[in-house]
Amino acid sequence: MKILVFAGSTRQQSFNRRLAQQAAGMARAAGAEVTLLELADLDIPMYNADLEARGTPPDVLRLKRLMWEHPGWIICSPEYNGSYTALLKNTIDWASSPVAADSEWQDGVKPFRGKVVGLLSASNGRLGGLRSQSHLAPLLLLLECWLAPRAYALAGAASAFDADGALTQAEQRTGVQGVIDQVLWATQRLHTEPR
């Protein structure tokens, strides 16, 4: 099972990047082949249809392929102003935009269709970024993803990680593991190979 894990943040000390690293390790321990994607490693500008008309950036095509090759995803979504980040929206907008000149990517939904997605979030607030998940879920459903019924929001994130970046509380690890287990279970049943 190939699982793609990424966070909607590029901040150096991002709680959600730390959570993504933990989720990736836990998914590997559960037997998955995991790719931990750092969005900062992709050179993707703000979406602009005029810019796109001059040619889709190479890293957008790389992103589309990465998404398509992994039938299961874990997304760690920060919460800004009660919703998901502009970075995450921009990433999804580029990945879902059809490439008219490329027969492989003329279908904008192709990188998303049928993917099993688990949602995690982390925030220092009491809701743990839960509102970002509630806004992100309808967008992913629109793009024909399957969402794991279980999600997990990590509250009090400033004190949730130890010096090595590991989650300190068994309850927190159990919450993350529950999402991973559902993604792996559903991915195994819905996909025999990447679409």
Residue-wise pLDDT tens for the chain (195 aa)?
Answer: 999 999 999 999 999 999 999 999 999 999 999 999 999 999 999 999 999 999 999 999 999 999 999 999 999 999 999 999 999 999 999 999 999 889 999 999 999 999 999 999 999 999 999 999 999 999 999 999 999 999 999 999 999 999 999 999 999 999 999 999 999 999 999 986 544
Q: 104: exposed, middle or buried (C-beta count within 10 Å: 0-12, 13-18, 19+)? A: exposed
CA-to-CA distance for 75 and 80, rounded, in angstroms?
A: 15
CB atoms within 10 A of CB 45: 12
Quick one: which H or E segment has residue 7?
Answer: strand 2-7
- pTM of the full structure: 0.95
